[in-house]
Structure 1
Amino acid sequence: MEYQFPEFIYLRPVFIGFIIILLVLLFGVIFLNNNIVNLFSVVSITFICTSISAITLYTSGYIADAYNLAGDLISFYMFFVILVLSFLNLIIFMTRYKKSML
């Protein structure tokens, strides 16, 4: 399958990588103990994944504007998956370890 503008396709592995990182973090929050996963690691990984994926989505908007196209819908959906996983990680960590944080 040949794409006319492959710049959008080259940005998708960034989103896929962040989704994989957040899924590994989610399994770490659920199954590992508090000594390995702490609040700082969850917040920092969540912030890094969310901010870089937002910048990447913003950059894909510039690419779409340069070619006078519409944006990449799959990357937009992947960004929302990253947002949901990020907030899910934070919520699960806070509910699971709220006694040890006090």
Structure 2
Amino acid sequence: MYTYDSFETLGVFTLLRPMYITVLVMSLLLFFIIIIPKFYTRWLNGFAIISLTSVLIFVSCQLLYYSGIIVDEIGLGGDPVSFYLFLAITIMGAINIIIYFLKCGKSTK
């Protein structure tokens, strides 16, 4: 029915799943940069953490929204894995912000 078979897997639209995985990997990378003291530099401040986390969550939110539109238009089912990846990205973003400010509060005391 479609030009490429990778658009769907068992009637579920999975084309955007690699984008979710990429955003999750970037969120995990930010997490490890916050945790490991060797990578903790002067470029890593509260504004940078909040900005990067907000951009990552915003991009994953837009991916979820647009995949819903695409699924509705072509008549496929939604991808629950993509939704769970969106939740994981959101939770990791909250954890990144909380850990940064807890670590920042300990270092100034």
* TM-score normalised per structure 1: 0.85
**Which one-letter code corresponds to 2:32 in the other structure?**
F
Distance 2:106 2:84 in 1: 35
Distance 1:21 1:4 in 2: 24
Pairing partner for 1:28 from 16, 33, 41: 33
- Report the 3-state secondary structure (helix = DSSP H, G, I; strand = E; otherwise coil) of the residue aligned with 1:10: coil
Q: Which residue of 1 aligns with 2:103?
A: 96
Answer whether contact 2:50 2:97 (CA < 8 A) is retained: yes
**Which sections of structure 1, spanning at least 5 residues, go unmatched?**
none
Give 1:14 shift. Answer: 1.1
**Correspondence 1:66 to 2:73:** yes
Distance 2:65 2:47 in 1: 27
Distance 1:60 1:22 in 2: 21
RMSD between superposed Cα atoms in Å: 2.4
Q: Which residue of 1 aligns with 2:49?
A: 42
Rg larger for? 2
- Report the 3-state secondary structure (helix = DSSP H, G, I; strand = E; otherwise coil) of the residue aligned with 2:65: helix
Give 1:37 shift. Answer: 1.7
More off after superposition, 36-45 vs 84-93: 36-45
**Which sections of structure 2, spanning at least 5 residues, go unmatched?**
none
Q: Which residue of 2 aligns with 1:55?
A: 62
* TM-score normalised per structure 2: 0.80
Give 1:9 shift. Answer: 2.7
Q: How many residues align?
A: 101
